[in-house]
A = this chain, B = another copy of it.
Amino acid sequence: MYTLSEENYLKAIYRLSQEKGQKITPKGISDVLGNNPASVVDMIRKLAEKQLIDYDKKKGVRLTIQGEKNAVLIVRKHRLWEVFLLEKLGYQWDEIHNIAEELEHIKDDTLADRLDKFLEFPEYDPHGDPIPKANGKVPKSYSVTLANLKEGTRCRVAAVRDTSSTFLQYLLKLDIGINTTIQLIEKIPFDSSLVISIGGKDKTTVSQKFGENILVDGI
């Protein structure tokens, strides 16, 4: 059994390892977790001793099989609890992330599988993130952002990158949710702002940063 901190580091490292090609450094981890690089170095040593990660200055941090297994399980629990909170307890989109951040650490061998079954084996969480299966397989995750699209393209909102409540509240206000149809009408060359039409309605302009946090699917 691992501590809360250890689990949070594993999760952060797992998240960074999903961004392909990027070396995972103490600085990178400290940015994700918002803590001091010195603390990260300590924890890297500890996790390496426990054989959950390998650390090599050249290659950066890599999860071991054990480490990845644990990380995936935490992510699985996080996303399943998010589905539970939204569907069963009636929370809003933007309220569930922080609670799931605590629930993901509840320890019991059969909990994830029972929750999965109770929720009827959802494939994606309310933010569109894939929920790892019991066997560790992870459903396809989305990588094309609204900002990546060519002018004129229509798409379906498949997921969101940022799960902060400020971002999600903004989406609620714009009437954007998972499965909403968006058409990219124009990219403003000056600052890469995006002129879009949401669900066939009037034009709205959003920032590049906004567009990079919306993951989309073809229609």
Show the binding face of A for B, using Cβ within 8 Å: 88-91, 98-99, 102-103, 105-108, 110-111, 114-115, 118
Contacts and interface: CB of A to CB of B under 8 A. Distances in A.
Contact of A90 (B88, B90, B108, B114): B114
A114 B102 contact: no
B118 A99 contact: no
A99 B108 contact: yes
Contact of A89 (B91, B99, B105, B114): B114
B91 A102 contact: no
A89 B115 CA distance: 6
B89 A118 contact: yes
17 contacts: A88-B118, A89-B111, A89-B114, A89-B115, A89-B118, A90-B114, A91-B110, A91-B114, A98-B108, A99-B106, A99-B108, A99-B111, A102-B105, A102-B106, A102-B107, A103-B103, A103-B106
Given A89-B118, A103-B103, 5 more contacts: A88-B118, A89-B111, A89-B115, A98-B108, A102-B105
Among A105, A107, A108, A118, which residue has the most Cβ atoms of chain B within 10 A? A108
Contacts of A105: 102
A79 to B, nearest CB: 16
Contacts of A90: 114
Contacts of A99: 106, 108, 111
Among A98, A110, A115, which residue has the most Cβ atoms of chain B within 10 A? A110
A5 B131 CA distance: 32
A106 B106 CA distance: 10
Nearest first, the 4 A-B pairs at minimum CB distance are A89-B114, A102-B106, A99-B108, A88-B118
A110 B95 CA distance: 11
Contacts of A115: 89
Nearest to A89: B114
Contacts of A108: 98-99
A12 to B, nearest CB: 21
